Amino acid sequence: MILRTPETESADRLDRLSDLLSPIVIKEVRQMVRGREFNYSFTLSVVAGLLVALYTGMYATTGTEDYGVGIFAALMACLTVVGVVIAPMGAFNALRNERMERTLDLVTVTTLSPRRIVIGKLMAQAVKLATLFAALAPFVAMSFLLGGIDFLTIVLSLAAVFLWSLWACAAALFLSCLSRSRAISGLIFGGMIILLLFVIGTGGMGFFLVRTVTYGPGYGGPPISSAFVTGGTDLWWGLAGMTLVCVVSMVNLILLAENRLLLPTEDRSTALRIGFFVQFLLIIGVAVFQVSSRPTYLASLFANMLGVLGGLQLAGVALFSVTEELVLSRRIHLQNKNASGWRRYLAIFRPGGARGAAYILAQMALFLAVGAVVLPISGWEFSWLVAICGYICFFTGVPACAGRILSPRPLKPVHLRVGALLLFPVATLLPDFLVYLVTGDFGGIYSLRHVLDPIRTLSAWSNPTTTPWHFLSLGLGVIGVASYLILIRMGRRASSANETAH
């Protein structure tokens, strides 16, 4: 007979509860608590907390000032290092090791999908972060008791650091999937750490993040809670916007990592395209919201914001979508064919058949419709938005189209992407270089040859010297759109041939 003690019963209960968690989280946490990295991080966090408390505590006993704010700022510095350096390093290594040790294949053949694997790795880092934050919790409570800092500031600052730390972990997970080579992976890792240190050095601590939203640079002024009371809803909207941007971009980073882990024969595009479409809608939404709540004279500022952010997003997404494979793998073909219910309406987000070009054109139409209808902007500002779309079409569509038509062998997407990336510097630098070779003078004045340079042309769109050449920029756009349409036609033909073959 097996004796059931309260301990065994609670262990059984916990074991049953653990079924609700991702297997990846359980494995990672088991490995983490035995690993040196976590134990060192935990110990260092506690030691740092103790030092801060002792140092500030000595002064607190001698005076009447509110020392809590100083302690809290120092603790936030520690937490930021933990959140933006240590946790992302752990995330990067977790997935990189899985690929390097080839255990990822073993997990892939189970019923866990790559998305669940990535989310599991991220959640494991969330557990690690929560534990390290908890280690500093007594010192944070001490800062509150010493005065000078209010509860809302503490909660918002901790939440912001936690959320952006998770974002950094998601970015690290994506970066760890970029290369299978140990050397390149190491280089990426080193680059990521330098970038993160740069972000910490220039961006300040999480504490200042929230306070900057409230007061601007520096950490003077009254507690944030009073600012929220006096500052109206704007501050809350600001925070909500920041949180939304963080969450949406974090989801896209997860989807990017998933994209890298999926086999090329799987549908790697649909979820990612939906994610980036939502991000695009968010950019438009923020622009429209800001315009509606601001004076009219600020409208052009937000039109600029929409143009720059929306344009950059569209350009990045277009580079990958327009150059995708036209022919589908059998598995995706079957999935597309068997799509039923609401999934049928996702056709434009699916891969293959040059749907990527249609997906970009649809977003451009939305982009321009918002510019024309919702934003109170002038004709030239609207033409600027049109030119942005035109340049994107030209620099992504023309190389993709030319590569497919002119190459005797079918080119891989990566070749087309490299072609598009090379066209950009060639188009922007070569004309000036040739002029220099002939005349010995670069000639700083904007002229006809600079029409091919989108950055120069678009940044000086309102300048009268560029105006005579606007029609040429728009002409390039027409060529770009035409190449998109040719791609769509090629894609439809390839799809039909594929259909027959399968």
- 296 alpha carbon, distance to own chain's centre: 31
Closest distance to another protein from the beta carbon of 15 (Å)? 7
Q: Which one, 105 or 441, has the nearer CB to another protein?
A: 105
Q: Which one, 102 or 464, has the nearer CB to another protein?
A: 102
Closest distance to another protein from the beta carbon of 331 (Å)? 6
Name residue 419's amino acid.
G
Q: Which one, 23 or 57, has the nearer CB to another protein?
A: 23
Buried-exposed string 310-329: b where 16+ CB fall within 10 A, e elsewhere:
bbebbbebbbbbbbbbbebb
User: What is the spatial distance between Cα 76 and Cα 63, in angstroms, rounded to a whole number?
Assistant: 23
User: What is the spatial distance between Cα 229 and Cα 226, in angstroms, rounded to a whole number?
Assistant: 5
User: What is the spatial distance between Cα 318 and Cα 275, in angstroms, rounded to a whole number?
Assistant: 14
Name residue 295's amino acid.
P
User: What is the spatial distance between Cα 391 and Cα 474, in angstroms, rounded to a whole number?
Assistant: 8
Q: Which one, 102 or 344, has the nearer CB to another protein?
A: 102
Query: Contact at 8 Å (CB) between 151 and 225?
Result: yes
Least Cα distance to 88 among 22, 174, 24, 187 occurs for: 174
Q: Which one, 185 or 473, has the nearer CB to another protein?
A: 185
Q: Half-sphere exposure of residue 478, counting CA atoms within 13 Å on the CB side?
A: 6
Q: Which one, 101 or 441, has the nearer CB to another protein?
A: 101
Q: Which one, 108 or 131, has the nearer CB to another protein?
A: 108
Closest distance to another protein from the beta carbon of 16 (Å)? 6
Q: Which one, 42 or 446, has the nearer CB to another protein?
A: 42
Closest distance to another protein from the beta carbon of 70 (Å)? 39
User: What is the spatial distance between Cα 49 and Cα 82, in angstroms, rounded to a whole number?
Assistant: 12
Closest distance to another protein from the beta carbon of 124 (Å)? 12
User: What is the spatial distance between Cα 17 and Cα 377, in angstroms, rounded to a whole number?
Assistant: 56
Query: Helix crossing, 87-100 with 36-60: angle to 10°?
Result: 180
**Pair of tokens at residue 341:** 């219910």
Name residue 206's amino acid.
G
Closest distance to another protein from the beta carbon of 93 (Å)? 11
Q: Which one, 266 or 432, has the nearer CB to another protein?
A: 266
Closest distance to another protein from the beta carbon of 109 (Å)? 5
Closest distance to another protein from the beta carbon of 335 (Å)? 9
Element (H, E) at 470: helix 470-501
Summarize as ranges the residues that interact with another protein (CB under 8 A): 15-16, 19, 23, 26-27, 30-31, 34-35, 101-103, 105-112, 263, 265, 329-331, 334
Closest distance to another protein from the beta carbon of 343 (Å)? 16
Q: Which one, 111 or 296, has the nearer CB to another protein?
A: 111
Closest distance to another protein from the beta carbon of 19 (Å)? 5
- SS3 at position 159: helix
User: What is the spatial distance between Cα 276 and Cα 378, in angstroms, rounded to a whole number?
Assistant: 28
User: What is the spatial distance between Cα 329 and Cα 185, in angstroms, rounded to a whole number?
Assistant: 28
- Per the listing, tokens 């010493």 go with 146
